[in-house]
Every structure is written in C-alpha cells, then in structure tokens.
Amino acid sequence: MLELRLVQGSLLKKVLESIKDLVNDANFYCSSTGFSLHAVDSSHVAVVSLLLRSEGFEHYRCDRNLCMGMNLGNMSKMLKCAGNDDIITIKADDGGDTVTFMFESPTQDKIADFEMKLMDIESDHIGLPDAEYHSIVRMPSNEFSRICKDLSTIGDTVAISVTKEEVKFSTAGDIGTANIVLRQNTTVDKPEDAIVIEMKEPVSLSLALRYMNSFTKATPLSDTVTISLSSSSELPVVVEYKVAEMGYIRYYLAPKIEEEEDTNP
C-alpha cells in the first residue's frame, strides 16, 4: 500500500506543470527513498528527472516498491482541481490499477478524491553519464526564463559561453543578432538574486531554445536555477530546479554539434 501525504500540495501541482508539456506518459517510481520519475521527452531529445525524497512528506508509507504509469496530461487535469493551499495525498494499492489523489482544504471543510486509471508504459532505459562539469552557473530562475524567451524571438539556438567573470547567451536569426551578458554578482541583498559562476574551464556550447523554454516551465518551483555545462560536447547540459527542501527536477539536453561552415570547399 502506498500513502504519501504532502502538506504543501502546490509543489506537486507545479511539478506536473513542469513536466507535462515535455512528456505525455511516464512511470512514477515509489520506494522507501522517495517518489521519482525519469523520462525521455516525446521527441527523444531531452531527459527529465524528478526526485521528491520521502523525508519531505508529512506521512510516507510505501510497503513495497511500486511503478505507476500515468498520463501526465490527465494527472495535471486532476491536480489542477486541488486548491493552492490544499494538502495532497497520493494513494494506491499494491497491484491495483488506479491511483487516487486526495485534496484536503486547510480548514478540512472540503475533501476531494480523484481516482485515475494507471497505464502500462514501457520504460526507456536512461543511462545518464556520471559527468564532471566544467562550469556551473547559478542564477535567478526568472532571469533565465526571460533570457530564453527573449532570445527565442530572434533565433532558434542559444550559444552559452562561460568565463570566470561572466556568462554570455547569444543567438542569431533572420532579423539580426542578440547577445546577453550576465556578470557574476554575489553581493546582493537577497541570496536568490545572486549570479554565481563556478568555472574550472571556460565552456562554450549551443543548445536548442525550444527545449530550454520547455525547461523554464519549472520556474515557479524555485527562485534559482543551476545550469551545469561540460566542455565535452558529448555530455548533456543539466538545468536543475530545487523542489523546496525535498528534491529536485533536472532537465538534460545534449548540445548541438557546431556546424563547421568555413571548412566546406
């Protein structure tokens, strides 16, 4: 039997909004460690990985490991029926074919339960490399979201270059070019406004803005976002948002191979 009670139910609502546009159907895993998901996006380019640790739940009962296949669109429809202050409990029987989401209003005047059918989903094996990252940038999540959105009005691809003192986001398109430079800044009033660059090696790589914009759907989850980049073009970039103190949502995206335009005869 499974019974996971999350007092800050709005977190689960926001998590779903962060995933549902990227992945249609996915398996959620539940073990004594926590509630998690690893899924490839529907176009097989990006990977999303979610962990909500068991300690973050007010009550966490998971008698045996469970894998529950869910349609994320339908799950999102149900979670949208929870109030932002509601307590959400996820319930399932071992071997059952449904999951129940229970929503309790803070005053306990209103109790809702929504039961959803589970699906059989074949899991992709997702091997994420145990990578060493050469540059890690932490910045306000809404600033990152704004930059991705702004650059999308000009081009399709963002080039990210990290040096010791600054990170540069660039794009080019039919109407012109754009460069946005953020300078490292750790002397801010609010720690979440800091722009922190940890650079072992300068990194410069290109990413599809379409996916970056999908990742920024997680912005309401956290005030900051961490972007980890490697100078090896084989390693994916990782964009991570913390989920309160209880876990994270991470997006992985392979860099675009630079087209070497000048070497063609």
Among 55, 58, 150, 234, indicate the residue that binds its own copies (CB under 8 A): 150
The answer to whether 247 and 53 are in contact (CB under 8 A) is yes
84 binds its own copies (CB under 8 A): no
74 binds its own copies (CB under 8 A): yes
CB 90, min distance to its own copies, A: 14
Question: Which residue lies nearer to its own copies by CB, 129 or 191?
Answer: 191
1 binds its own copies (CB under 8 A): no
The one-letter code for the residue type at 161 is S
Question: Which residue lies nearer to its own copies by CB, 51 or 66?
Answer: 66
Site string for its own copies, 91-120 (x = CB under 8 A): -------x--------xxxxxxxxxxx---
Nearest partner of 224 among 206, 241, 245, 204, judged by Cα: 241
Nearest partner of 182 among 171, 192, 197, judged by Cα: 197
List, in order, residues 6 or more apart from 155 with CB less than 8 Å away: 171, 172, 173, 177, 178, 209
176 binds its own copies (CB under 8 A): yes
Pick the piece of the chain touching its own copies (CB under 8 A) from 70-78, 201-209, 216-224, 234-242: 70-78
Residue 157: both structure tokens together: 């691809």
CB 121, min distance to its own copies, A: 16
Q: For residues 179-238, which are near its own copies according to CB under 8 A?
A: 179-183, 185, 195
CB 10, min distance to its own copies, A: 15
Structural element, H or E, at residue 179: strand 176-183
Nearest partner of 89 among 100, 97, 81, 78, judged by Cα: 100
Spatial distance between the Cα atoms of 105 and 36, rounded to a whole number of angstroms: 25
* CA atoms in the 13 A half-sphere facing the CB of 179: 6
Summarize as ranges the residues that interact with its own copies (CB under 8 A): 71, 74, 77-78, 80-81, 98, 107-117, 143, 150-151, 153-154, 175-183, 185, 195
